Amino acid sequence: MHLGRHQPRAGAEVTRSDPRSFRLFNIELRATSIIIALGGFVLFLIPWNHGDAHEIRVALATAVLTIGVIGLINDAYLRRAFTEEALAHVSRYLREHFADELFRSLGLARDFVETGVEKLVVADGPDWPALLANAARVQCLVIEPAAWMAEQWPTIKNIAVAHAVSVSIYAPDPAHPEFEEIARRYDLGLTALTANVGELRRRIEQEWEAARVAPGAQRLDANSEIRLKFYRGVPSFSATLADRKGAITFHQSLGNRQDQDTLVMILDADSETAVIGWCREQLDTLDRLLDQYYGAGG
């Protein structure tokens, strides 16, 4: 949703109140009250102390002075007190009727933003070129090799050509017994998943080597590197992290994949937030464990 300026219809004039005119009115009102009060005070000082004129002067002076003083009191205190009391009543009403829901919603929104989650999408994946652009380090935890090769692998190759990047890819290990559980849980088919993992390894090795010796602008940056490692276990999500951006994908499981829907949590933060930090810790731990089990060479 885009929020922009409202454009007035043709022929319609937009009028805006000028706050300066209101302030000028207040100054004029205060000055008038002072003049009236001074006028009443001056009437008291007139040396006319006999006859009916004296009584009239006193009554008139009293009335004028009273009007001026009341005006000053109203301007200086009563109007402000009335405004503050009215605002207090409004504040109390809003607090009693809406505060709990409002502050709860604001708190949830604040907490959600602070996690670094930019948005949640169903079925549609993120814009991979935009998410991976300018990344110095990319980590990919892969569950479905075929989908990963189609969606992310071309972008990663382009980035490795454009600038130096360190890429780590973690794919299921076909030699481990839990590989069959991955195929069953995510309804990928054991034969198809085995073939896709083999294709993933072949393409990474061949296409990376071809890009490394390619001529001119198609050649990999000399400092770009890639590592492919095979993990044990059954992950509950797939993930791609690119510095402080990333995407965590939750796949449908247990054979319930008629429409192939996924839930994707897109991360984008200026600092290390809870979700990004947690996910990075999982992948770094996985990387260390694989190095210990297979050796640093993968």
Sequence ranges of the domains in the chain: 19-82, 118-294
pTM: 0.60
Which H, E and C letters describe the chain, residue by residue?
A: CCCCCCCCCCCCCCCCCCHHHHHHHHHHHHHHHHHHHHHHHHHHHCCCCCHHHHHHHHHHHHHHHHHHHHHHHHHHHHHHHHHHHHHHHHHHHHHHHHHHHHHHHHHHHHHHHHCCEEEEEECCCCCHHHHHCCCCEEEEECCCHHHHHHHCHHHHHHHHHHCCCEEEEEEECCCCCCHHHHHHHCCCCHHHHHHHHHHHHHHHHHHHHHHHCCCHHHCCCCCCEEEEEEECCCCCCEEEEECCEEEEEEECCCCCCCCCCEEEEEEECCCCCHHHHHHHHHHHHHHHHHHHHHCCCC
Tens of pLDDT, residues 61-78: 666 666 666 666 666 555
* Positions in the chain whose pLDDT score sits under 50: 1-17, 19, 22, 25, 257-258
The predicted pLDDT at position 12 comes to 43
The predicted pLDDT at position 3 comes to 35
The predicted pLDDT at position 100 comes to 59
The predicted pLDDT at position 158 comes to 95
The predicted pLDDT at position 97 comes to 63
**Class of domain 118-294 as given by CATH:** alpha beta
